[in-house]
Structure 1
């Protein structure tokens, strides 16, 4: 069953916006808030997918992978804050609860029965790669809309996701 990716707002059918002196037009800000809501939900989701792996990983290389997952969790948690702050800076209302994140995430649910480090590494790599592809589309959307700051934010996140994918894939490539 496919999830409805429509952002949930205050029941008015529109993106909730606050007055701001931000120079971007209200239409562009509204579109960017919707874009950023999806990435906020995804960032929160991937943050806790990574923590789920951190808590439950087992295997011969346990400590290295356990620490890698903790580092990746910290990195993605920073993305959460950056996305939420950009979203609110342009007049949006960040939807950062667990329930909102489930509704807005672009990712598939993370399996709760994984144990082996390679299984966690492969599954997390899939999630990071899926988000990375969505970030690239978001960069294009922000560029076309004329919002260079959202474009820059997503570009930085994309660079970080690529590096995270490299760190995880290096465990099972070769």
Structure 2
């Protein structure tokens, strides 16, 4: 079996790998939560929120791929299996069934805020060990913050 040689030392690889794995779990679950809300959305602002949720899904899916590929580039095997995400997610889950647009906007706003907080911690954690991974996390955080602002403005 081939092993990817890391451009980082063992300590740096471990720190960056943990940050990237945590980001991967957050992004996979964000995509799942946003799609669940998208499918079950009801209310007078259905169309605008429905379409906005797809933007969040697209951002989360593209970002999770970028994060996973960065992990591989530094010699860390990303774990995006459903069981891993279920075991490690820290995101509050949506209730089952149809959801009013006001509840969805509040839930997504809160979820994005929580993810952004963890991403900012990961940015700090990768400052010294891997500025390249840090740069990736900074870019994703900027996009998450933009989505957070847009959802927050709807509440």
Aligned equivalent of 1:154: 137
Instruction: Measure how far apart 1:114 and its partner are.
Output: 5.2
| Structure whose residues are more often helix by fraction | 2
1-side partners of 2:21 and 2:96: how far apart? 25
Aligned equivalent of 1:65: 49
TM-score, normalised relative to structure 2:
0.93
> Residues 41 and 103 of structure 1 are in contact (CA less than 8 Å); yes or no, is this contact kept in structure 2?
no
Q: Are 1:164 and 2:151 an aligned pair? A: no
Aligned equivalent of 1:32: 16
Aligned equivalent of 2:38: 54
Superposition RMSD in Å:
1.3
For residues 60-115 of structure 1, the C-alpha deviation after alignment (integer angstroms, 9 at most, x for no partner) is: 11111111111111111111101100111111111011111122223222322451
2-side partners of 1:144 and 1:110: how far apart? 36
Gaps of 5+ in 2: none
| Segments of 4+ moved more than 3 angstroms | none
How many residue pairs match? The answer is: 153
Q: Relative to structure 2, which stretch is displaced further, 148-157 or 110-119?
A: 110-119
TM-score, normalised relative to structure 1:
0.83
Gaps of 5+ in 1: 1-17
